[in-house]
Structure 1
Amino acid sequence: MLRKAIAGCAQHTPWRLIVSRHSTSISSAVDSILLRSLKEHYQEVSKMAPPPKVSPPLPFKIVTGALEGNGPVLKRTYGNEEISIYVMRLASVGGDDDDDGINQLFVHVDVSKPGQKDSLHFLCGLYPDALGIHSVSMRPKLESQGFLVVPSKYNGPVFQDLDERMRDSFHSYIEERGINEGLFPFLQAWLYVKDNRNLMRWFRAVGTFITEKNSAKSA
């Protein structure tokens, strides 16, 4: 009897179609669960209170549209020089970050002059109470608001291999141009806001992708 029943079902509903319907049902259920989770996390992130508004130290100015791109965050002029500051998170290896997770930053400082093809580039570690130089190099001058170009030629000596007097002179050079721990409060708050926006944008993009995929299936 059971064999006859199975055979009868097979005659009216092909096995491949049964599997297809079953798979479609599971896929739709998984998509719904994921979409619900994305929405919940999006709403949770959107309700997070932003940090207190902090202004950058004068005479630095915030670059228009910096939160939406990967270009410089701050700019200023110093004599005939243009100084651009880029920032990114420096993850703590020991996992001892503060609650906001941004107590160490990588700061790229680009110093350019008119008529010069290359600019002087500093890679620094920025902390609430200190700034340290990791490297000094010459890099192609930026022609747009894009992110920094990775040098393709000799990148200079290891900074710690320089003698102490030269290292101190480089620190004095950037401090004279306003590059110091005083930048930390603004850059910390700015990076928090950027991370928050990027996360919300990611939730929306993934949700839109899944929804459009479902629409294509139903069509």
Structure 2
Amino acid sequence: MWRRVFGGAGGGLHPWRMLAHRSSSTVSSAVDSILLRSLKEHYLEVSKMTPPPKVSPPSPFSIVKGALDAHGPVLRRTYGDEEISINVMRLANIIPGGGRDDDEDDGINQLFLHVDVSKPGQEDSLHFLCGLYPDALGIHSFSVRPRDKSLGFLVVPSRYSGRVFQDLDERMRDALHSYIEERGVNESLFPFLQAWLYVKDHRNLMRWFRSVATFIHEHKQAKDV
């Protein structure tokens, strides 16, 4: 009798299992709604943030088209027959939490540059990793690396690329500083790159909120069907 009442013989679900399933779906839907509401609130809050004043890059550097939505170079210029390309990132993007133990503005005022110097017909490029500050620029590493001709950026070196920068003779280190400064890579780039990173970070955050909200919304709709 008990088996007939609860549908055991037919393999049906027990009532309490059905109730638990419905309750779980209701809670999950409520969580999705709360998350969507929170995402919308944060999205609107971020959208109201005042961007920094527009800053132009120092001449003769020009902004690479589409750089805000890509991961490649930000600035480019020619110097004689050379092409100088610059990528930029924040310290916090390289070292999570970088600068938090120091001054609060360190995360904003410490930028890292990847400077690539290439020449037509040359398979290798000179690559500098530099720290950029409002009033100074320092070289952290220097190497010779091959370029990927099809993609136009540096590839991971598979051969010896040079000595550690700090192990170089002091005169050579000074000469390398003069080398990139002569090509316009100095602290004058800081105001533009700082403002550019703010705009890029803001755009990425807005896009992130929209992507998460779209995923949650579609997930919620699928469960409601």
2:58 aligns to what?
57
Which consecutive segments of 4 or more residues in structure 1 shift more than 4 A? 144-148
Distance of 2:36 and 2:79 partners within structure 1: 50
Quote the residue 1:4 is aligned against. Answer: none
Partner of 1:106: 112
Q: How many residues align?
A: 211
Report what 2:171 is aligned to: 165
1:52–1:211: structure 2 CA closer, same or farther, 3 Å change rule?
same
2:161 equivalent to 1:120: no
SS at match of 1:96: coil
In the aligned structure 2, how far is the partner of 1:169 from the partner of 1:12? 79
Cα distance, 1:157 vs structure 2: 1.4
The Cα shift of 1:218 comes to 2.3
CA distance in 1, matches of 2:45, 2:151: 32
Distance in 1 separating the partners of 2:65 and 2:223: 41
Distance apart, 1:49 and its partner CA: 0.4
Supply the AA of the counterpart residue of 1:175: E
What runs of 5+ residues in structure 2 fail to find an aligned partner? 7-11, 93-98
Q: Distance in 1 between matches of 2:41 and 2:130?
A: 38
What aligned pairs does 1:171-210 form with structure 2 within 5 A after superposition? 171-210=177-216
Distance (whole Å) between structure 1 residues aligned to residue 220 and residue 203 of structure 2: 26
The residue aligned with 1:84 is 85
Which amino acid is the alignment partner of residue 59 of structure 1? P
Unpaired runs of 5+ residues, structure 1, are 1-6
Instruction: Note the alpha carbon deviations across 1:72-119, whole angstroms, 9 max, x for none.
Output: 0000000111110000001315242329x4111000000010111111
Secondary structure of the residue that 1:139 maps to in structure 2? strand
User: Is the contact between residue 137 and residue 156 of structure 1 (CA under 8 Å) also seen in structure 2?
Assistant: yes
Cα 1:111–1:51, aligned 2, differ >3 Å: closer, same or farther?
same
How far off is 1:142 after superposition?
A: 4.1
Give SS of 1:102's match.
Answer: helix
| Cα-Cα RMSD | 2.1
Structure 1 residue 23: deviation in Å? 0.6
The equivalent of 1:37 in structure 2 is 38
The one-letter code of the counterpart of 1:141 is R
| Aligned-partner Cα distance in 2 for 1:78–1:132 | 21
Between the aligned residues of both structures, percent identity stands at 75
What SS class does the counterpart of residue 135 from structure 1 fall into? strand
User: Within the alignment, does 1:96 sit opposite 2:103 as a pair?
Assistant: yes
